[in-house]
Structure 1
Amino acid sequence: MTQKLKIASTGQGTPLVFIHGWGLNSAVWQPCLANLQTDFEVITVDLPGFATNNSVQLAEYSLVEIAELITLAVGKPAIYIGWSLGGLIASQIAISHPKLLLGLVTVASSPQFVERDNWPGIKASVLALFHQQLAQDTTKTISNFLKIQAMGSPHIRQDIKTIRDLVMQYAQPSRQVLDDSLSLLETSNLSEQIQSIDKPFLRLYGKLDGLVPKQVISRVDEIVPNSQSYIFEQASHAPFISHQSEFLVVLKNWIAQNFTKNT
């Protein structure tokens, strides 16, 4: 039987569940939490095989299975906020468990990360290279991925240092977990399924993002016309790090517009 995921919870109010991206862990959200926990219940979760959940093993490392485990651990309706790969997982929760979803926020994410069938995205060869690098040196691979995430940011070195210092509080996941979770970015396509999402849906993007091309924004606008989007003009792939104050203002304003305090 699969172990139950550990979660961390602080504060009171409408529950906000934060899901991290590939290769990292829930510590990336720490700079935002102090600002939010006075008004909300802030819940963070590490993906199976990562940080506090490093002992959790899955028979199949899939979006559906991870979504099931996270909603089981949270145990109540919540606003799900997912960054990058975490955005895919949060979207899967919205699709598979609509009754447990109050609202959805995706950050620097896409329903399909790989460029294929006229969909803008990362070239498949880039992710294939990451798979090869993982087999040789996992630490160097994560380091290179951090550089890509911050590329284009006006303070790239500081962003990389901030993220690295946060996530290195925990041991790195195994090469197998990194390989399996990277495959989710490589193979997942929720572009049709997200059309079913009928709860408040906010999409946040960095204009300088090297992993989620700006063409994705208009494509998702067409697919989910009732969703809202916001672009951080000077941000790359981690706007909640590089533009924390703006990120928090946008997020809190959206929540205030769509939810009462007693939701």
Structure 2
Amino acid sequence: MIKIHREVYGQGQPLVMLHGWSMHSGIWRRFAQGLAEHFQVICLDLPGHGRSEGVTPYTLERISAALLAAIPRDRFHVLGWSLGGTVALDLAHRFPEKVASLTLLAANPRFVQGEQWPGVKAEVLRSFADNLAVSCQATLMRFLALQVKGLANGKELLKQLKQAVQECEAPAVSTLQGGLDILAHSDLTLSFQQLGCPVQAILGGRDSLIPAQCGERLQYLRPDANIRLLRDAGHVPFLSHQREIVELLAGAL
């Protein structure tokens, strides 16, 4: 069995939280402690990230199976941020009997821009992949800066991101490349549309990676989905708008 690191806070309904690319569960800590007043919060390090062992090949199927084996509850809500949102959606699709609801936080079913689909340009992901081979550390720092681009409190948020990331060693380049491959090639729009559980998405109006226009496409795919837009938030709304998101989740779940 793959060793998956987890941090658990609070009691009550279980809420599994999955972090983004190159991160680990430490990024959630303050946010998780706020949510712990309402839920049992279970933070998992994605395979190959933080203190979790890796999987080979680095596919959604292998990742979801490893994570499910590490969740100590039979049924749970799941929240995923960025790459973690893609994994959370895959988990809900593969194991519908386990997932009570899905929350996408600054995440969507298709990361890359396409015809009538707002997203990141494919060349942006390709440049990250190319630069990883040259300088992993510089590439990660560039990615952190992109997450807070254009925000009034961007410098403070960037400091928080750097402090959290530096708590653990960076993932292996093969793991980082695997995560980028998932983001570049996964299209889970049909899975999102067909999910039987309640779905919500919380997006940032100033997110440079997940365009706010994604909310309209998500609502079109799932008229019953609860789509919320935090107009002044970027790609890390759980750092900049913690209180608002805690209240949204407490009310919705």
TM surpasses 0.5: yes
Q: Distance in 2 between matches of 1:178 and 1:214?
A: 26
Q: Distance in 2 between matches of 1:177 and 1:84?
A: 16
- Alignment-derived partner of residue 148 in structure 2: 150
Q: Distance in 2 between matches of 1:246 and 1:153?
A: 17
* 1:131 CA drift (Å): 0.6
Secondary structure of 2:233's partner?
A: coil
Deviations along 1:4-62, one digit per CA (max 9) or x if unpaired, are: 32322222110011100011111111111222223321101001111110xx2322211
Determine if the alignment matches structure 1 residue 65 to structure 2 residue 62.
yes
Q: Distance in 2 between matches of 1:39 and 1:207?
A: 26
Q: Distance in 2 between matches of 1:162 and 1:247?
A: 18
Whether the 8 Å CA contact 1:150–1:159 is kept in 2: the answer is yes
Unaligned runs of 5+ in 1: 256-263
Aligned residues: 252
Whether the 8 Å CA contact 2:212–2:229 is kept in 1: the answer is no
Moved over 4 A (4+): none
- Alignment-derived partner of residue 98 in structure 2: 100
Whether the 8 Å CA contact 1:153–1:242 is kept in 2: the answer is no
- Alignment-derived partner of residue 220 in structure 1: 218
Residue pairs, 1:46-61, within 5 angstroms? 46-53=45-52, 56-61=53-58
Secondary structure of 1:179's partner?
A: helix
Q: Distance in 2 between matches of 1:96 and 1:14?
A: 21
Whether the 8 Å CA contact 2:78–2:99 is kept in 1: the answer is yes
Q: Distance in 1 between matches of 2:134 and 2:59?
A: 24
Q: Distance in 1 between matches of 2:104 and 2:88?
A: 7
TM-score (normalised: structure 1) = 0.92
Partner AA of 1:73 in structure 2? A
- Alignment-derived partner of residue 171 in structure 2: 173
CA RMSD of aligned residues (A): 1.2
Residue pairs, 1:118-129, within 5 angstroms? 118-129=116-127
Deviations along 1:122-154, one digit per CA (max 9) or x if unpaired, are: 111111100111001111111100111111222
- Alignment-derived partner of residue 11 in structure 2: 12
Deviations along 1:72-96, one digit per CA (max 9) or x if unpaired, are: 1104211101001101111111111
Q: Distance in 2 between matches of 1:57 and 1:39?
A: 31
Unaligned runs of 5+ in 2: none
Secondary structure of 2:189's partner?
A: coil
Whether the 8 Å CA contact 2:77–2:102 is kept in 1: the answer is yes
Determine if the alignment matches structure 1 residue 130 to structure 2 residue 100.
no
Identity of aligned residues (%): 31
